[in-house]
Homo-oligomer: A and B are copies of this chain.
Amino acid sequence: MPPAQDALATLRLPPCPLWPDTRLAPKEAAPPRRPQTRADDERHGPADTRPYRHGPLLGDDRAIGRDWARPARRPVAAGRDQFVAWCREAGLSVRVDGIGNIFARRAGTEDSLPPVVMGSHLDTQFNGGRFDGILGVLGGLEVCRALDTIGHRTRRPIEVVNWTNEEGARFSPPMVGSGAFTGTYTLDWARGRIDEDGRTMGEELARIGYLGEVQDSPHAFDAYFELHIEQGPILDREGMQVGIVTGGFPSTGMLIEFKGETAHTGPWPMERRKNALIAGARFLVAVDDLGWVHAGTGGKATAARLVAWPNKPGILSDWAQAVGDVRHPDPTTSAVMAEAMRRAAFEAAAKADCGVEILDVWQWGGRIFAQDLIEQVRGIAAARGYRHRDILSQAGHDAYFVARHAPTTMIFTPCKGGITHNNGELCTREDLEPGLDVLLRAVLARANGPD
């Protein structure tokens, strides 16, 4: 029997034993890996072989099957195991799909209806914090526990999902779990993603016990809500409590390959050099300059990765790959920036007398969230008296892929100074409660709503 409407109306999230939890405290920061160099151990002591600072326990998903501490490499699935344990304590039934996505289900009174789904990702960036993604997963669990406190069972079932490898920190590309679930990537392709040691994601998921049954087709969702920290400074600066996410910056990323010739760094004449590393560096600088051109209107251009081979003193590199992306709130300007980035790749290659190929172009963002869900979330935030504003996401999220599968929207919370992808990422319970409350009420409304 559903409780009286009064009970639902006055329902609040309980002081939750899960949040904040000491198990979410970041471990002591360790210095990043410093590749061995001439002066390394004289100046820094023996090279630190840990390639990233340890983040939160629940973020160790990024290290599926791997503990970076040498010499032993032992399986690390503590974050996933902890989440599953908490779900089972809350009476949820847990299943894992063919790419390691975890679905925790709370039955509905009409349990054959498609579930209302909440979620995000437990994995983190190499230097990430303890809220990016984790908030959306544990927030979903909190919603379920809140309903338990008043014994309410919704009409539709509710699910909490942890999508595998949203960040793409160990296995590229990002958002591969939601991409495989929604058919953007085939399951075989997703399982075949290789880390820099040559291990596949499928093998590693199997090794830690998180490679579930193959699903030929994903189960239907009634709706998908993703609660997430803004990962930017706007809400915090303006004192806003809730961000109503109406879409994302139209964005374009490119993977560029440069090809040159190896030669000696000494005698080889400047005019005969084809140093692919220099082609890559010129591309990076051009992308950064492009970001500055459009900074005044909110644009960003980022070159975050450059690898080259052999990339050693003494020899010119014959191969380099760079990744660049551009983001702008205005679709036309975003397209102009993407074209400028493409041109920059060819100019950089020409200056360094190298070949160039654009290996991959990917795009995300735009206005693909469900208008009725956006309006519902905005209405709840207003009715509850929260300071809120519409906002565009500037980052990639699983929600973009899920939006191809089911009506989808996102809810943003502020985070201190907008700091993210950094151990300094911080939110207080007070920062998060309005967003959690809106999530709770939006899911409730949807789960108890009419067909």
A residues sitting closer than 8 Å to B (CB atoms) are 32-41, 43, 46-47, 49, 51-52, 70, 125-128, 167-169, 171-174, 192-196, 198, 230-234, 249, 251, 253, 255, 261-271, 275, 277-278, 280-282, 284-285, 288, 291-292, 295, 299-319, 321, 323, 325, 327, 352, 359-360, 362, 393-396, 418-422
Contacts and interface: CB of A to CB of B under 8 A. Distances in A.
A266 B127 contact: no
B304 A267 contact: no
Contacts of A196: 35-36
A325 B194 CA distance: 35
Contacts of A267: 230-234, 300, 394-395, 418, 420
A288 B275 contact: yes
A395 B174 contact: no
A306 B306 contact: yes
A4 to B, nearest CB: 42
A271 B393 CA distance: 19
Contacts of A233: 267, 269
Contacts of A127: 262, 310, 315, 318
B198 A47 contact: yes
Given A268-B420, A313-B325, 17 more contacts: A32-B310, A36-B193, A36-B196, A37-B360, A38-B173, A38-B360, A40-B194, A41-B192, A43-B359, A125-B310, A251-B266, A266-B300, A270-B292, A270-B301, A281-B303, A281-B306, A304-B312
B255 A37 contact: yes
Among A126, A271, A308, A327, the one with the most B-chain Cβ atoms within 10 Å of its Cβ is A126
A266 B319 CA distance: 27
Contacts of A167: 314
Nearest to A417: B272
A304 B285 contact: no
A317 B331 CA distance: 28
A229 to B, nearest CB: 10
A63 B422 CA distance: 37
13 contacts: A37-B359, A38-B173, A47-B194, A126-B262, A127-B310, A169-B312, A249-B266, A267-B418, A282-B285, A285-B285, A304-B314, A305-B311, A313-B325
Given A231-B264, A303-B277, A359-B43, A195 B36 contact: yes
Contacts of A171: 36
A96 to B, nearest CB: 24
Contact of A268 (B39, B232, B251, B312): B232
Nearest to A36: B194
Among A168, A172, A281, A282, the one with the most B-chain Cβ atoms within 10 Å of its Cβ is A281
Among A171, A249, A313, A359, the one with the most B-chain Cβ atoms within 10 Å of its Cβ is A313
A309 B36 CA distance: 13
A194 B46 contact: yes
A159 to B, nearest CB: 27
Contacts of A33: 309
B278 A284 contact: yes
A127 B312 CA distance: 11
Nearest to A302: B265
A163 to B, nearest CB: 15
B309 A32 contact: yes
Contact of A360 (B39, B169, B305): B39
Given A194-B46, A263-B419, A266-B395, A125 B307 contact: no
